[in-house]
Structure 1
Amino acid sequence: LLDSATMAPRQETRRPPITMEDKRNIQIIEWEHLDKKKFCVLGVAMTMMIRVSVYAFTLIHTQLQVQKGKSLYQGTFDAFIKILRADGVTGFYGFLVNTFTLISGQCYVITYELTQKFVADYSQSNTVKSLVAGGSASLVAQSITLPIDVISEHLMTQRKGEKLGRFHVGNPEGQSVVAFGQTKDIIKQILRADGLRGFYRGYVASLLSYIPNRAVWWPFYHFYTE
């Protein structure tokens, strides 16, 4: 190659080759490196965006699961059309209660990081730290999420003039009531039927699902980065 100014042969500058050691040198961002305010605000905003994008399908999925046979919907597309005709776009987004689960995501990360720091006083093994921290974070997150999910799922099964779940809200004419009224009505019915335990139906099964999952996932993450 020739230099455009002097027309003399130009020496080519080569970058040093990337070695396997360079590829494995992955930067780990620790809790103390984070801007906590930005993390909380942006974390909630990002989770909210994801929630908005998938909630309609979660609602359809729930209603298809609890209906008797094909008494109400023939399938996913049929459910989408019928909900849209009956309630409009807002019929897919009555999820004000469900948004409270955004708190659990932040609590999960905070619990994970703080537990790691606590365990570090007793062991420097990333496997041990992430195993204990992942399990603890899931325990805290599920304890917050499950009652909200129970209420939210009962609200998802509400249809005008239809009873898809154990509980039903609405006025005598069969018309649905406002969102806050529905939530209050569902909470009262759960308390009346099952007491406080009603908000933790399936709690043990939930913990047995999430705690081992997260407890195993995080050690593999550290194994990969190392």
Structure 2
Amino acid sequence: MDIVTLLVHCVNELCIYKLCILIKFIQFCRLDKTKFYVVGAGLFTGITVALYPVSVVKTRLQVGTRDTVERSALSIAKGLLRTDGVPGLYKGFGTVITGAIPARIIFLSALETTKAATFRVLEPFRLSETTNAALANGFAGMTSSLFAQSVFVPIDVVSQKLMVQGYSGHAQYSGGLDVARKILKADGIRGFYRGFGLSVVTYSPSSAVWWASYGSSQRIIWRFLGHGAEYDKGTPSLPKILLVQGAGGIIAGATSSFVTTPLDTIKTRLQVMSHEKRSTVKQVVKDLVNEDGWKGFYRGFGPRFFSMSAWGTSMILTYEYLKRLCTIDE
């Protein structure tokens, strides 16, 4: 699911906070590209393995109807373990991992090249370091997200159908290829892009809100710890930096998930519907209100909040580590 949104969060470079002494900006041209993609695939796959069950639980919460017995994250997790064991928490995992490799290559390539180009364009304007970094990273994240959506949305559509199969009246499938074949037969290629517009609308503001919350919360925390704009107490230790990053990630996850969960719920419902039950955004909204009132738009908020916070923090740390690891010695 939400892999694109949380990778966008990784574009936040610590140089914005004047911590260039510890972690400096590493340009894409200075990276060993083969090592960057191969090692990156392994690191990000590890994070996906750890956090994937949260996506499965969140998706099931969002598509459940009024008659669904399992209405909490814990009951859904227990039900999956009871009926399918640990593999039940990884429904659709193979599809996500297979499709995520080309999608990540597209995303990371667009992210780094766009960011470098934007920095060059902004040079004549002589903006502050903070403004330059925010504009370049934000534009790069938005652009790379748009490119990657062409691959990620079909992955979402197929994997989410596998996540909810047999749950709350949803069809059963024999695997990702079976889902793809039935989608193609019922709706053609456009069936793989159901909810594409909502995906773009969801992920873009989610990234913007996450970045704004992450940046502002870290500034407040640093001031609270006695570090002003010029870091009067000297360069913070690495453990302190990691702790502040973690706190900022949690705050950003809470804020962005609160703002964008309604859109994510509507998008998910549209994507998992069978071709016999085609519906519109307006009808999905009506169904949610009729079933649970306005709180229905926040189904899966807990797992989504946890997922966005955990993904955001771990992705930032992993992404920065990956770039340092793959830097070519001059």
TM-score, with structure 2 as normaliser: 0.49
What residue identity is the alignment partner of 2:62? Q
Contact 2:142 2:204 survives alignment (8 Å): yes
Give, in whole Å, the separation in 2 of the partners of 1:189 and 1:109: 31
Give, in whole Å, the separation in 2 of the partners of 1:25 and 1:188: 50
Give, in whole Å, the separation in 2 of the partners of 1:119 and 1:74: 46
Contact 1:169 1:185 survives alignment (8 Å): no
Q: 2:35 aligns to what? A: 38
Aligned-residue CA RMSD in angstroms?
3.0
Q: 1:98 aligns to what? A: 96
* Match status 1:56 vs 2:53: yes
1:169 alignment partner, one of 151, 172, 189: 172
TM-superposed deviation, 1:90: 1.4
TM-superposed deviation, 1:102: 3.9
Contact 1:133 1:215 survives alignment (8 Å): no
1:183 alignment partner, one of 135, 156, 176: 176
Spell out structure 1 runs of 4+ moving beyond 3 A: 116-123, 125-132, 162-165, 211-218
Q: Secondary structure at the match of 1:158?
A: coil
Q: 1:113 aligns to what? A: 112
Give, in whole Å, the separation in 1 of the partners of 2:72 and 2:204: 33
Cα distance change of structure 1 residues 78 and 186 upon mapping to structure 2, 3 Å threshold: same
Contact 1:107 1:137 survives alignment (8 Å): yes
Give % identity: 32
TM-superposed deviation, 1:212: 5.1
Cα distance change of structure 1 residues 194 and 121 upon mapping to structure 2, 3 Å threshold: same
TM-superposed deviation, 1:210: 2.8
TM-superposed deviation, 1:157: 0.8
Within-5 A mapping of 1:135-214: 135-159=142-166, 164-165=169-170, 168-170=171-173, 177=174, 182-211=175-204, 214=207
Give, in whole Å, the separation in 2 of the partners of 1:49 and 1:35: 21
Cα distance change of structure 1 residues 97 and 133 upon mapping to structure 2, 3 Å threshold: same
TM-superposed deviation, 1:40: 1.2
TM-superposed deviation, 1:70: 4.8
TM-superposed deviation, 1:123: 4.4
TM-superposed deviation, 1:164: 3.5
* Match status 1:134 vs 2:131: no
Q: 1:9 aligns to what? A: none
TM-superposed deviation, 1:192: 2.8
Contact 2:60 2:164 survives alignment (8 Å): yes
Give, in whole Å, the separation in 1 of the partners of 2:55 and 2:116: 36
* Match status 1:69 vs 2:66: yes
Give, in whole Å, the separation in 1 of the partners of 2:64 and 2:202: 25
Contact 1:63 1:164 survives alignment (8 Å): no
Between 1:96-105 and 1:139-148, the stretch displaced more is 96-105
Can you give the 5+ residue segments of structure 1 that lack an aligned partner in the other structure? 1-22, 171-176
What residue identity is the alignment partner of 1:91? G
Between 1:197-206 and 1:108-117, the stretch displaced more is 108-117
More helix by share: 2
Q: Deviations over 1:111-154 (max 9, x none)?
A: 12222344566543546544543322111111211110110000
Can you give the 5+ residue segments of structure 2 that lack an aligned partner in the other structure? 1-16, 126-131, 220-228, 231-330
Give, in whole Å, the separation in 2 of the partners of 1:67 and 1:25: 46
TM-superposed deviation, 1:194: 2.3
What residue identity is the alignment partner of 1:106? I
TM-score, with structure 1 as normaliser: 0.69
Cα distance change of structure 1 residues 205 and 74 upon mapping to structure 2, 3 Å threshold: closer
